[in-house]
Structure 1
Amino acid sequence: MTSLSSRAGDAPADPAAALLSVRDLTVEYKTDAGLVAAVERLSFDVGERQTLAIVGESGSGKSAAAMALMGLLPASARVTGSIRFRGRELLGLPERELRAVRGRHIGIIFQDALAALNPMMTVGDQIAEAVTVHDPTLGRKELAARAADLLGLVGIPSPEKRLHEYPHEFSGGMRQRVMIAMGMANEPDILIADEPTTALDVTVQAQILEVLRRVQERTGTSVLLITHDLGVVAGVADRVMVMYSGRNLELGGAESVFYEPSHPYTRALLDALPRIDRRVPRLTQIPGQLPPPGQRPRGCPFQPRCPHARPALCGTESASPLRVSTLHTTSCVRAHEIEGELR
């Protein structure tokens, strides 16, 4: 591991060149106890043709961040910070202007395909509807051809026939492929995949990830992959951001994060993964639970569960990201002391 040096931001050195640049994104919800933060001061970049995976336990704020990027949070949410797409600020855009970006330039795949698809419409009509929102000039035959092309792109056999079928006639994996087709309907520059493999068996998970990879290769679309499973992103992501309790704990190249983790939480997630290269008596678990948003500890949110925590250091104010290498940062204030133990 490269020695830690100066404090730095958690993004590539040239954010101006990023396709999507997020700075200090904070999402708060109004409650009886006041504003409660689901996401706190999140910053990251997604480059052209790049896959960034956001990883963390359920409840860490990953999906709230994704919905904030799309402008799909409820009125009870308060969003601050900056979200720039190709240099254009999206936060605060009028709804009409945001709709022109949503779907056309930034697409999304929702995690529950069965809930997201309309059971009363054929999948072909639903894909066509996604296209006509941004291109109302296409005729019915052109829309049907476009829908069939998209179903073929995501690997659904006999697409011309299956576009006339309803969601209940598709398996879980095939429904998720339909969601990918809908997300790609307008050839967006970036596709947000929110837990696209949830509730699917391991074999189907691999197929869905392969579909995303193949779609990215053919279209050049960047991907923001959100998942709770660090094992899912191996071999798929270029960069990985590890979230916990609404915050970024570690961000870096996928290989660097996997083989040289700099935060104890990242190491704990890696240790909890099943291994096929060695026999272990039992899987490692992370003790304790994720704190509720309104009850987060002061300082590092992971410190109550961290075997390396020192209250005098970790229980004070949250540290600014520390640079591990050029494109790898951590929020652990003890990273330089414990780096050998995390390898």
Structure 2
Amino acid sequence: MHDANQESALLSVRDLSVTYRTDAGPVAALDRLSFDLHAGETLSIVGESGSGKSAASLAVMGLLPRNAVAEGSVRLGGRELLNLSDRELRAVRGRRIAMVFQDALAALNPMMTVGAQLAEAVSVHDPSVSRAALRERAVELLDVVGIPDPRTRAGQYPHELSGGMRQRVMIATGIANEPDVLIADEPTTALDVTVQAQVLDVLARVQDRTRSAILLITHDLGVVAGLADRVLVLYCGRKMEEAPVEPLFYEPAHPYTRGLLAALPRIDRSPRRLTQIAGQPPSPTERPPGCPFRNRCPHADERCAESPRPVPLGAGHTAACVRAQEIASVTP
């Protein structure tokens, strides 16, 4: 069947599964995940720790560890990535698709100035650029991400910068070659709210400048509300719900999504006690058949013993729940 949405997407993921080989047996981190990402769009993948968010981003980038196996399809601009060799992937990473890692201090080289690292990110894909031009490009990139006095900062080492500045350097490294797709994996973790807002503003300005598509991996729904166009909710490696950001916040249709939102303080609603989702996610090695959320779900019934199919609820809005339409009609 011809999928027009898939054809027009910059990044198209279909039935992506990731399995880790462990001493305790195979562990399924991701189970047949599908989504599309278009130019200028921000798609956020959210969920609790262990839901498969980072596995998805690493699989797309071709950075899974050796004990992991990825199956399915990841197409960037129509080109399949999963069957590329390491050499072919290195030519794609950084130029067509790039990643902003969570821990900037660990990701940056402590022995190189930030300017040298930015210059290296450019020269590895275009060795013909002169040293003088590379130095100027590094300064320009630091200026783009809002670092004051970029020429001085380019000569400094990562430990000489604040956490917020290091995260901006990571963003600058990611956009050095103006990739089509930028993956941001928990880019605001461990930053205070003021610096967090600054980093999110940088991402938004970069996107306006380059028209890149952003895949935002996060557990912070406040970040999602401020930056995302669409949201994909993961649980136990499966897609529970996908929707444009406003329908997801105001008309959530999956009990898991509702549980996440109920734990979020909101200024658009009257004050109320925050709640938490009862229980814990099942062990990755002992996931039950049927809906993986049913043992924690207040709406579960006998139908949940079988894996639910996605229920269409509106433009771009689906939820994998047998009671999705009923739940969506009730104000959260």
> TM-score scaled to structure 2, two decimals?
0.96
The yes-or-no answer on 1:328 pairing with 2:320 is no
1:315 corresponding residue in structure 2: 305
Where do 1:100-115 residues align within 5 Å? 100-115=91-106
Where do 1:1-343 residues align within 5 Å? 14-278=5-269, 280=271, 282-310=273-301, 312-316=302-306, 318-341=307-330, 343=332
DSSP 3-state at the match of 1:234:
helix
Equivalences, count: 331
The unaligned stretches of length 5 or more in structure 2 are none
1:74-118 C-alpha deviation (Å, 9 max, x unpaired) = 111010000001111111111111111111000100000011011
Contact 2:17 2:32 in 1 (8 A): yes
Runs of at least 4 residues off by over 2 Å = 275-282, 336-343
> TM-score scaled to structure 1, two decimals?
0.93
Deviation for aligned residue 1:32: 2.2
Contact 2:250 2:331 in 1 (8 A): no
The unaligned stretches of length 5 or more in structure 1 are 1-8
Contact 2:9 2:77 in 1 (8 A): yes
Distance in structure 1 (CA, Å) of the matches to 2:269 and 2:251:
19
Q: Percent identity?
A: 65
Distance in structure 2 (CA, Å) of the matches to 1:126 and 1:180:
12
Q: Which residue identity lines up with residue 77 of structure 2 in the other structure? A: R
Deviation for aligned residue 1:342: 5.2
Deviation for aligned residue 1:340: 2.6
Contact 1:128 1:144 in 2 (8 A): yes
Q: Which residue identity lines up with residue 176 of structure 1 in the other structure? A: Q
1:118-148 C-alpha deviation (Å, 9 max, x unpaired) = 1111000111111111011111111110000
Deviation for aligned residue 1:296: 1.5
Moved more, 95-104 or 272-281: 272-281
Distance in structure 1 (CA, Å) of the matches to 2:103 and 2:288:
32
RMSD of aligned Cα (Å):
1.5
Deviation for aligned residue 1:339: 2.6
1:258-296 C-alpha deviation (Å, 9 max, x unpaired) = 111111111111111112345545321111112221122
Contact 1:28 1:78 in 2 (8 A): yes
The 3 A distance-change label for structure 1 pair 158 and 88 is same
Structure of greater relative contact order (alpha carbons < 8 Å, 6+ residues apart): 1
1:47-72 C-alpha deviation (Å, 9 max, x unpaired) = 11111011111111100110000100
